[in-house]
Amino acid sequence: MSVANYFTRNPTHKRHLWLISLSYPLSPLWGAGLIMVTGNVHMAWAPIILFYIITPLLDTLLGEDKHDILGQMESEAQLSAFYKYMVHALLPVIYLTWLGGAWFAASYDLPVSSLIALGVAHGWGLAFAINSGHEVGHKTDKLSKYMALLMLAPSFYGHFRIEHNSGHHSDVATPHDSATARFGESYWAFIMREYPGAWSRAWRLEGKRASRKGYSKFSPKNEVIMSLIIQILLYSIVIIWLGAAVLPYLFIAWLVSSMALSSQNYIAHYGLLRERRADGKYLPCQPHHSWNCNLLITNLTSYNLARHSDHHAHPARHYQHLRQFNAVPHLPFGYMVMFNIAYFPPLFRKIMDPLVLKNVGGYMTKILTKDMVKAAH
């Protein structure tokens, strides 16, 4: 019996596959552990090999989730609280990985190359933290809100929850969205616009909420202010604990995690544009306004994030219920391969631009371009 058929015939077993999403963020610790066991400082590169080589290979070998293993619905009696606590359980994993890396970086005399490898690996650990903060942050209860802020704090990205939910999901695939890449825009140009745009939009949204509620926009009730307080306290505690030696590690991990989020935003909506109604307003976001990916490993390591079409069409839908849509734009490769391709703009455009044009039948007026953005502003 194939793996796919096993999980298809045993629906109560398939949910345990999600333990991969929970355990995968621990993999940056492999580098430090292997160095301690072997004494070989080059072992710091082991997690990098996992992320950039082994994961894409597994994505290619296992291919698509053709049997929809990850999308099969179970009865409410079978669902239980497993899926919810699968994401919540990532909070201690996030801090174990990040703080473990910080202690190792400050305690061991590593060459620059190994320190960089350690920071990059743990930056990807924080990228998974942002993804889990994204999943939890879409829930409306107070516990989920504060869990999301704590998950996002090591990446200094606490503003993401309000910016993503109320900003990106509202403006996605329009000229007004800083997190939607324009057709022909390079990844490097995108991140220089998207990162400050996220801060600006979060501050603007929280300023408006403060005005409606009748309190100062500089109040701790402002979620941007609240997240900054949490993040500054957290970083201060780590620096006081480990000293200035930990600063390079903290900086590299923060930078890589921020770039990872921008990479996902870049490939997820590149060149896509929502249609306008007769009154000039944009139609609600539909599945075809996101680039989808149905590769099994990509989705297992990201809580189904790559089923982005369903996520944007139905933001409140839990990760285990996200469905695969066939008649939507599909990325040609898994996320890690696409991230690597995005770093080389000519290669990315050679692969993606024809797909964007094919998606709209060659009509440039149906593509989000830089000129269209200029006209809108």
The residue ranges of every structural domain in the chain are 3-376
End-to-end CA distance of the chain: 57
pTM reported for the whole predicted model: 0.91
> Could you give the angle at the alpha carbon of 164 between the alpha carbons of 162 and 165, nearest 5°?
65
The CA-based diameter of the chain, rounded to the nearest angstrom, is 67
145-160 burial code (b ≥16 CB/10 A, e <16): bebbbbbbbbbbbbbb
Give mean pLDDT in consecutive 10-residue pieces for the chain, a chain of 377 residues: 48 69 91 95 95 92 77 52 82 96 96 96 95 90 90 95 94 94 96 95 94 90 94 98 96 96 96 90 92 92 92 87 88 95 97 95 88 67
pLDDT for 73-121, tens place per residue? 555 435 567 777 888 889 999 999 999 999 999 999 999 999 999 999 9
